[in-house]
């Protein structure tokens, strides 16, 4: 939340834990529901974050519930701003922040993609 606030976004935290999103970002009158994820451990150089809630992966996030997954790879100090549509219903998102960006790495185009959060009409 502090990273987003430092970048000029308004940040709101819902009261309670009944929503599927962790907080709301605002910019220029537009709102995004955000689920935040983080990871500390790589397996063969690949970091993974889940794209589902805590009920065994049966409840994958949908565009009706959230707009973005923002993932933080702690050891690499890398942030990913991933639109929920880009997850295509996957349970796990594989992140490769410690290698050069390649087209085959699905989510690398979303690394530090804060500026891509353009308001949609």
Of 107, 34, 111, 116, which Cα lies nearest the Cα of 76? Answer: 111
Task: Write out the CATH class of domain 35-116.
Answer: alpha beta
What pLDDT does 82 receive?
Answer: 95
Q: What is the DSSP letter of 76?
A: G
CA angle 84/41/54 to nearest 5° reads 50
CA–CA separation, 101 vs 107, rounded Å? Answer: 9
Ramachandran class of 95: left when φ > 0, alpha when ψ lies in -120 to 50, beta otherwise:
beta
Question: pTM of the entire structure?
Answer: 0.84
What pLDDT does 101 receive?
Answer: 64
CA 94 to chain centroid, in Å, comes to 12
CB atoms near residue 111 (< 10 Å): 19
What pLDDT does 42 receive?
Answer: 92
Residue 79 in 3-state DSSP? strand
pLDDT string in tens for the chain (121-residue length): 888 888 888 888 888 777 889 899 998 888 999 999 999 999 988 999 998 887 655 689 999 999 999 999 999 999 999 999 999 989 999 999 887 666 668 898 899 887 777 544 3
């Amino acid at each position: 939340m502090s990273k987003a606030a430092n970048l000029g976004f308004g940040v709101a935290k819902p009261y309670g834990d009944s929503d599927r999103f962790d907080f709301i970002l605002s910019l220029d009158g537009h709102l995004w529901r955000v689920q935040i994820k983080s990871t500390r451990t790589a397996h063969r150089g690949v970091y993974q974050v889940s794209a589902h809630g805590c009920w065994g992966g049966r409840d994958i996030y949908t565009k009706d519930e959230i707009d973005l997954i923002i993932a933080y790879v702690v050891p690499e100090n890398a942030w990913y701003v991933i639109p929920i549509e880009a997850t295509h219903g996957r349970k796990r998102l594989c992140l490769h922040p410690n290698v050069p960006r390649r087209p085959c790495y699905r989510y690398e185009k979303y690394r530090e993609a804060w500026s891509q959060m353009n308001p949609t009409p």
